[in-house]
Amino acid sequence: MKFRQHPFGWVPAAERRHVTRAIWRDGDEIAALCGEVVVAVDTTESWFWGTCEPCNVEAHRIVGVPMPGARRRGTGSR
């Protein structure tokens, strides 16, 4: 059985590196964790785009890893 290591993955799209739960390929329209629907751009260059902050925060929350230097938001569980 093949599982991805994490329940999500990074996807470069709209000049940001977003996070998605979808399995995607170049050109796919995917729903990012930040709520945006973006078109995946799989190029060498695109992987150097800046991190989408809301996606990053959400991804940390999913796996239960505290954000480095995160402010406490009082959202508590998950």
Where does this chain bind Zn ion (CB under 5 A)?
A: 18, 32, 34, 52, 55
H/E/C letters for each residue in 58-75? Answer: HHHHHHCCCCCCCCCCCC
Q: What residues have CB less than 8 Å from 76, skipping those under 6 apart?
A: none
Minimum CB–partner distance for residue 4 and Zn ion (Å): 18
Least distance CB 10 / Zn ion (angstroms): 10
How far apart are CB 2 and Zn ion at their closest, in Å?
Answer: 26
Residue nearer to Zn ion on the CB measure, 25 or 31 = 31
If you search the block for the tokens 């959400």, which residue do you land on? 58
